[in-house]
Each structure stands twice: as structure tokens, then as C-alpha cells.
Amino acid sequence: MAVPLIIAHRGDSAMRPENTLAAFREALSVGADLVEMDVQLTKDGHVVVLHDVTVNRTTDGNGSVRDMTLAEVKKLDASFPSKFDSQFKGERIPTLREALELLRGKKKVLVEIKRESVTPEEDDGVEAKVVAEIQRLRMDKEVALISFERRSLLRCRKLAPDIKRGAIFYREEIPQMIAAAKEVDSELLLPEKGSLTADLFGHAEMVGVKVATWVVDEAAELRSLAHFDLYAVGSNRPGALIDALWSGE
């Protein structure tokens, strides 16, 4: 059975402030196979790398990113002080372009378009802006676009059919997951680990879709999933899982 690829979830987010250049550099350092990041839109339409709708949890600021300009976002300290204290003081929220430039030619990237960033605008929405950045950097073959939001993935397919897509799910039924993956022409199915069953893998194989899961942080848990033919596993501790795979733990 194939060894799953290890996805650095928001970068090496256990060791560095999540979704920052520091976290992505650390993911490269520990040898993660892929790097995942989340994107949101600022008030003035810039794509920034951030998981939450607000900046409250991971920065020294408060408020919705959608109500802030890029200049305002860039003033924030994104060192996740409540978790790391002042260890990474001065880290900033990166733009998507900054993050992709760091990883270009080094690792494949999964860009999650957050459901909250999806707007009614199709031509100038988050999907169009994300695709434009990827194409500007000529990273069409290095990036896959993933989302919980089916509407967003359909837009991505229309805008850039050659950029791979992945559909994310949390505790959905198998028929719904398979139907959604087929509708958006997804090459990757990303159910949360609690949804993994032999039946799901059987259906995925029938339609030619790879299965990855999230979030697995412990070697013991990774071993418990070894009987599944997983393509990849998302982890906040990619270095620890890679060490466990190499050591045969």
C-alpha cells in the first residue's frame, strides 16, 4: 500500500504561526510533500493568506479582514501571540502572491478558497483573483484549488479548467461527496478523517478520484489509517509525521 503524501496544513502550523511565510518556510525545511494555505479577500480586493474571517485569533488586531484594506492588514503582527508569545514577532499576513512566490518550483500547493470569501460576483470574485495570481506566476501545474464551496469550484473550473480542483467535506454522506466531486470535475476528494470508510474508497476508485484527509497530527493516528489507500494526509505537524513514516513507527 502506498505511503500517503504529507500536506503541511496552513504550513508547519504547530511550529510557526499558521498561514505565514515562516510556516511555509518551515514546511519546506521539514520536507512536507505539499503545502496548504487559506485565502480571504480584503476590502480593496486583494487576496491574503488567512484562515479566519477576522484577524482576532492570529494577530494583534481585531475586526473582519473584509473591512480592512491591504495596507491595514499589513500593519498587523501575525505572529499568533496567544500561541507563540513574542517568538515570531513581526511576522505579517502574506498576500497570496508572496506565498506562491516563496513556494514556486519547490512544492505543490493547495489553495483553499474559504467559503466566507465567496461573493455573488463571478467575474471579479475571489476565484478570478486567485486564478489570475496563479497564472501570472505560471504555476498552473503547481497549484490545486480546494474548497468546501461547490459554487466556487465550479467557477474555478470555468475560469481555468487546467488547474486541478479538490472538494472538501465535513461528515457528508458518500453519495453527496461523490456527486459533488463529479460535478466540479475534481481530481481530489478531501473528507474529514471521521468520514473515512472502505465504502468511500470503493466509490472514489470507481470514479477515478484520489482521497486525502485532514487533520492528523499523531503518528499513532496515522498508523490507524494505514489500511486506507490515502493519497495524502493534512497535518499541523508535518515534520513529526514524516519522521514517523521514515522510522517505520
User: Of 46, 51, 203, 227, which one is the catalytic site residue?
Assistant: 51
Phi-psi region of 105 (alpha: psi -120 to 50; beta: other; left: phi over 0): left
Decide if 203 is catalytic. no
Decide if 51 is catalytic. yes
HEC letters along the chain? CCCCEEEEECCCCCCCCCCCHHHHHHHHHHCCCEEEEEEEECCCCCEEECCCCECCCCCCCCCEHHHCCHHHHHCCCCCCHHHHCCCCCCCCCCEHHHHHHHHCCCCEEEEEECHHHCCCCCCCCHHHHHHHHHHHCCCCCCEEEEECCHHHHHHHHHHCCCCEEEEEECCCCHHHHHHHHHHCCCCEEEEEHHHCCHHHHHHHHHHCCEEEEECCCCHHHHHHCCCCCCCEEEECCHHHHHHHHHHCC
Q: Which residues are catalytic?
A: 9, 51
